[in-house]
């Protein structure tokens, strides 16, 4: 993202956000892959526990009226119920009842968390291929990794377009980046805890 860092004004909001969070995101990706979440169904079940914890944190944001006003259709993008069904598919058990650990977040910070959750859906195409090798599918065990019926790329572009159009100051953008880093770090902590 050298261009964005050299000339931030020429970059889109999403590009600037990506540049500001790349290091944190990369560290998380490496940690997840080191955990080998697709080495077996047992390890995949642990990966689902990580997803369950993170999506419990972001589910209230997907239901928030203010965020849905700014990002129309956000509520329909929530994957929390799909993750819970995947856990039932894999373990045969009801997922533990957990609630968000976030508490009240200001709007820019909340937008940072939503950016991370939506970005993970874009990257889920690769994860779905790995899940299929375990005998799972978009209909059983890997529902939360499924792409949108309109296509994963189009779904992401629609989100990016709405996100880039949000009225936001430079200070707000920095708060968004801090929120995104907090979200990435939350997932990292869940991976450490679950795969320890």
Please, what is the average pLDDT of the chain? Answer: 92
The full set of domains in the chain, from first to last, is: 39-195 (1.20.910.10)
pLDDT band at 7 (very low <50, low <70, confident <90, very high): low
Residue keyed to tokens 């949000």: 166
Taking alpha carbons only, the member of 52, 27, 26, 50 closest to residue 38 is 50
- The pLDDT tens digits of the residues spanning 129-159 come to 999 999 999 999 999 999 888 888 888 999 9
- The pLDDT tens digits of the residues spanning 44-64 come to 999 999 999 999 999 999 999
Q: What is the pLDDT of residue 104?
A: 86
Beta strands in 65-194 (DSSP E): none
- 76 neighbors 121 (Cβ within 8 angstroms): no
Q: What is the pLDDT of residue 177?
A: 97
- 125 neighbors 147 (Cβ within 8 angstroms): yes
Q: What residues form DSSP beta bridges with 140?
A: 137
Contacts of 82 (CB under 8 A, 6+ apart): 143, 144, 146
**With a threshold of 0.85, does the pTM exceed it?**
yes
Q: How many CB atoms lie within 10 A of CB 65?
A: 8
């Amino acid at each position: 993202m050298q261009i964005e860092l050299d000339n931030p004004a020429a970059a889109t909001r999403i590009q600037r956000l990506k540049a500001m969070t790349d290091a944190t995101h990369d560290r998380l990706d490496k940690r997840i892959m080191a955990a080998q979440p697709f080495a077996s169904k047992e390890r995949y079940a642990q990966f689902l526990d990580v997803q369950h914890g993170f999506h419990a944190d972001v589910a209230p944001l997907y239901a928030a009226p203010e965020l849905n006003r700014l990002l129309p259709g956000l509520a329909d993008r929530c994957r929390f119920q799909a993750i819970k069904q995947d856990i039932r598919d894999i373990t045969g058990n009801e997922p533990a009842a957990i609630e968000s650990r976030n508490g009240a977040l200001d709007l820019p910070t909340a937008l940072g968390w939503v950016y991370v959750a939506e970005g993970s859906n874009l990257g889920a195409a690769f994860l779905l291929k790995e899940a299929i090798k375990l005998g799972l599918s978009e209909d059983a065990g890997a529902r939360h990794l499924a792409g949108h019926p309109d296509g994963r790329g189009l779904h992401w572009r629609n989100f990016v377009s709405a996100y880039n159009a949000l009225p936001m100051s430079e200070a707000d953008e920095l708060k968004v980046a801090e929120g995104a880093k907090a979200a990435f770090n939350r997932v990292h902590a869940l991976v450490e805890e679950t795969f320890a």
